[in-house]
A and B are shown apart, each in its own frame.
Chain A
Amino acid sequence: MLRKIRLLTAIPVFVIITLLFLDFTGTLHKWFHFLAHIQFIPALLALNVGIVLFLIVLTWVFGRIYCSVICPLGVFQDIIARISRLRKKLPYSYSPALSWLRYGVLAVFLVAFVAGLIAGVSYFLVPLLDPYSAYGRIASNLFAPIWLWGNNLLAAWAERVDSYAFYRVDIWIKSTLVFVTAVVTFVIVAVLAWRNGRTYCNTICPVGTILGFISRFSLFRIKIDADKCNHCTLCARNCKSSCINYLEYEVDNSRCVACGNCVGKCKRDAIGYKFVGMRITQISTNIEKNPRESVQSASSACNESRRNFLAVGALLASTAVLKAQEKADGGLAVIVDKKIPKRNTPIVPPGAAGLRNMTQQCTACQLCVSVCPNQVLIPSSNLSSLMQPELSYEKGFCRPECVKCAEVCPTGAIKHIAKEEKSSIQIGQAVWIKQNCIVLTDKVKCGNCARHCPAEAILMIPSEAGNDNSLQIPAVNTEKCIGCGACEYVCPSRPFSAIYVEGVERHKVV
């Protein structure tokens, strides 16, 4: 029963969260973006007290069902483990918790988290360890391309039958670093899940550890009835969390994710999900009893991770990095790809309020990067804001009618703004680069930047002062400029635009 309920809820939640990262049309987000908002670390960063309290109470009452149902990385591990089980029916066995690793990782995470809040710098670790964001990077970097290829196939078909139901989209690696991180995370999590079920959840994931503190005291727990149990080991060998110590009739509730797999397996009805009230299990004494065993398994875990690391390295070496190339047509001038200019201050989306807020709040889940229909959001490779989104205008500009990133952001890094509000928020200022401007270099009439400026912040002035007949060059009225990048995107100068946007530290209303 418990397992059935879990499957019925976890599968749709997992599918929809995955789709949030795949759906480039932004249709699903209207109804289901709340699934990103109820993720633990994002809610914590967004200071969403209601959701955090709800998750704590939920865990206190029912155990770690968050990890079994809501967390996409958790369900992802279950899926891998399920496939692995096709090969080997009863793969698991009890092992004591690797407490030093769990608490060690948690401590490092907390230090990074607090330091981030105080210093306004993301130390890479918070985004790296947040399970939801880790899954987001996997979905947006590894699953999305497959989804988009499928879409492009359909689009090709639609084009043939003259239907407008599907349209082509660009597939490109927005940041090699994030791609590599996603691959590494994928491999580590998948290998651990393949071999030992929920190892990642119970030894590395800080959310798992935090919720584990609470689930120790949960009202409903998995409990073994010592009178009925005959030590058949079926429950323990079905437990992907390896937390059932059948010899002692005990379950480590800090690691149990209340999946219910053990409940149905017991032939004597000796194990069940029961209301136990406030009693505390004595599992911690176990660890003290068998110090040798825990050290042993720790060293084996070490070996394993070393092996995993090597496997990852080999895989990376063999992964060819795909780069989308523009097709050149006959009778058309070659268009040189634009290069990203060096920006002294990164640009962050309207709604982010400024750089500090962005670096403090963002967990680099890539949801905004995935949904950006204008392809201006790319993950940063700047050390202080690693993998967090920033704007770049090589493939488009931040269109006036779009507030998609603000709609989906679960952490409050990009706060909700109205469309009307957007065109008055200054996120950057355009800068004119004289030596690139084709009006001066090629002596042609242009003014494309001024023509497309939605804020009317670019004036065309004579290139020779006082001579109204001379060719006109752009001049930026920085008071009016909002930094949307329309000018930079449409500038004919390539590979570097003659007008580009510098971010502003703190956004302001113009």
Chain B
Amino acid sequence: MSKNITRRDFLKIAGITTATATAGIYGCTSKAEKALELNASTPVPKGKMTYRTQPKSKDKVSLLGYGCMRFPTVPNPDGEGELVDQDVVNELVDYAIEHGVNFFDTAPVYVQGFSETATGIALKRHPREKFFVSTKMSNFRDFSYESSVKMYKQSFKSLQVDYIDYYFLHSLGKTGDTEFRERFIDNGVLDFLLKEREAGRIRHLGFSFHGTQEGFDFAVAQHEKVHWDFAMIQLNYVDWKHATAPRNVNADYLYAELEKRQIPTIVMEPLLGGRLSNLSNYVVSRLKQRNPEGSVASWAFRFAGSPANVLTVLSGMTYMEHLQDNIRTYSPLVPLSDDDKEFLEETAKVIISYPTIDCTDCKYCMPCPYGIDIPAVLLHYNKCVNEGHIIDNPANEEYKKSRRAFLVGYDRSVPKLRQAKMCIGCDICVPTCPQSIDIPKELFRIDRFVEHLKQEKS
């Protein structure tokens, strides 16, 4: 063999050396850092899910919980409205269980009332011990004992189970303590539920919270008597320190109060209904610079999963890609460093400087009796805020482009008769919003903006 190395050989050798060097570097990286490099091109890991333990029952709960509030829907073949797309739901649930998710959260009111049944159908196809299911007492309008108990019993039928693992008093705290008293104490419903827990039909009893600090404090104070097995709060890196006070409470306070009493925390809205993944390009580039391979949403999930007292983080996953992304993030969880937390706090400050509306697309306000598609209007507005299309000065260079994007996009996202213009301001939706958005006020504001654009006023 010739001793002279040809050009091609040299390149070959150089290539091999580089490859080895790279492998060496990878070999040195920690498991944690490797987990951060998972993206859509890597296989979704199986058997690596992080689990947390419920101290009383020793339930091993997956850190990722499946929220059944945003199940995919298809148009009703009969023509009227929409139905849950059961085939897709089954696929999603099967996939989730296969990849270690074992917590499924629903409520009688979700997805136009179809969620419990759809969840029941999907879970029925799996052994009962493979999953934990949670549902809620959503007695928002009719507080009577009879109706509340009826709702409770119906959940068993819809879910096709003979015990419920986690049962919620749904959405406490809006009006201080009055609502809690009316819905659960004065009518004897709470006593009934405590008996059910004793009988084993409810394995864990807890509550979900939306509202003022006063309301939260009152609910937590009941711990002495009730012994909450868990509580659900809205926790994400924006609400941690920047909840829209005084209507909403910072999550750091809520979490600390629960931790103090060792009440396991279930997290809702880790992503604010997608708002923390659908960010402006500026914020996205900020997050991507810190971890180019991780998804934007993974930051929010790592933040929500990092506190040790968090039992599970619920995510309402409509698409397979969301589910896969979240499984990657929690298989296993790479907890945030203090630096990371500081970085997200700075990011949160940038996010709240954008004038988006706090809608999380939960659809509690729907259906509007006058046909307005409230979440669609608010989300379109938010999208335009994030894309920089809220410009009402015709002298601005970008005005024409933004105007068209806003108006054409508006008609695409919301049919004319369901737009903000048709809101009559009856205020029926106002008490239903868990984010305490003054919906009619926002709709009027958006409509005034639309009129400005249409008339090209400055």
Contacts and interface: CB of A to CB of B under 8 A. Distances in A.
B455 A335 contact: no
Given A168-B411, A399-B454, A448-B422, A331 B371 contact: no
Nearest to B373: A332
A167 interface: yes
Interface string B420-440: 011111111000000000000
Interface stretch (B71-79, B190-198, B257-265): B71-79
B93 to A, nearest CB: 20
Contacts, number: 84
A208 interface: no
A452 B451 CA distance: 10
B112 A330 contact: yes
A335 B422 CA distance: 11
Contacts of B363: 331
A331 B82 contact: yes
Contact of B81 (A164, A331, A335, A451): A331
B76 A446 contact: no
Interface in A307-334: 326-334
B455 A401 contact: yes
Nearest to A325: B79
Nearest to A337: B417
Contacts of B416: 395-396
Contacts of A448: 422-425
Interface in B59-81: 73, 75-76, 79-81
A445 B80 contact: no
B369 interface: yes
A444 interface: yes
Contact of A445 (B76, B369, B427, B456): B427
B367 A332 contact: yes
B352 interface: no
Interface in B342-394: 363, 366-371, 373
A338 to B, nearest CB: 9
Contacts of B456: 401
B81 A332 contact: yes
B80 to A, nearest CB: 6
Interface residues of A, number: 29
B81 A168 contact: no
B418 A335 contact: yes
Contacts of A396: 416
B322 interface: no
B417 A447 contact: no
A168 B417 contact: no
Contact of B425 (A164, A400, A445): A445
Nearest to B410: A167
Contacts of A164: 404-405, 408-409
A418 B371 CA distance: 36
B412 A332 contact: no
Contacts of B409: 164
Given A331-B363, A333-B368, A492 B81 contact: no
Q: Which of A164, A328, A330, A452 has the most CB of B within 10 A?
A: A330
Given A164-B405, A444-B426, A446-B424, A326 B370 contact: no
A492 B370 contact: yes
Nearest to A445: B426
Interface residues of B, number: 39
B10 to A, nearest CB: 46
Nearest to B412: A159
A378 B406 CA distance: 28
B82 A329 contact: yes
A40 to B, nearest CB: 37
Nearest to B363: A331
Nearest to A170: B416
B415 interface: yes
Given A330-B81, A330-B82, A447 B425 contact: yes
B454 A401 contact: yes
Interface in A469-493: 490, 492
A326 B414 CA distance: 12
B83 interface: yes
A396 B419 CA distance: 12
A246 to B, nearest CB: 60
Interface in B173-227: none
B175 to A, nearest CB: 20
Contacts of A328: 79-81
A330 B75 contact: yes
B444 interface: yes
Contacts of A451: 425, 444
Interface in A24-64: none
Interface string A283-320: 00000000000000000000000000000000000000
Given A399-B454, A492-B370, A446 B81 contact: no
A340 B67 CA distance: 46
Contact of B455 (A167, A329, A400): A400
A396 B454 CA distance: 13
A324 to B, nearest CB: 12
B392 to A, nearest CB: 14
A164 B421 CA distance: 22
A401 B456 CA distance: 8
B78 to A, nearest CB: 10
Contacts of A452: 421
Nearest to A438: B424
A331 B405 CA distance: 27
Contacts of B408: 164, 167
Contacts of B412: 159, 167-168
Given A329-B373, A330-B112, A448-B422, A335 B367 contact: no
B79 to A, nearest CB: 7
A299 B51 CA distance: 95
B352 to A, nearest CB: 26
Contacts of A329: 81-82, 373, 415, 418
B218 to A, nearest CB: 31
Nearest to B80: A328
Given A159-B412, A401-B455, A333 B369 contact: yes
B88 to A, nearest CB: 15
A198 B423 CA distance: 56
Interface in B77-112: 79-83, 112
B455 A332 contact: no
Q: Which of B367, B423, B426 has the most CB of A within 10 A?
A: B426
Contacts of A395: 416
A332 B424 contact: no
Given A164-B404, A330-B73, A492-B424, 18 more contacts: A326-B415, A328-B80, A329-B82, A330-B75, A330-B112, A331-B81, A331-B112, A331-B366, A331-B367, A332-B81, A332-B371, A333-B369, A334-B80, A401-B454, A444-B426, A445-B424, A490-B421, A490-B422
**Closest 6 pairs between A and B when the two form their complex, measured CB to CB:** A330-B82, A335-B371, A446-B424, A444-B426, A167-B408, A448-B424
18 contacts: A167-B412, A326-B415, A329-B81, A330-B75, A330-B82, A330-B112, A331-B112, A331-B366, A333-B367, A333-B368, A333-B370, A444-B424, A444-B426, A446-B425, A447-B425, A448-B425, A451-B444, A490-B422
Interface of B: 73, 75-76, 79-83, 112, 363, 366-371, 373, 404-405, 408-409, 411-412, 415-418, 421-428, 444, 454-456
Interface of A: 159, 164, 167-168, 326-335, 395-396, 399-401, 438, 444-448, 451-452, 490, 492
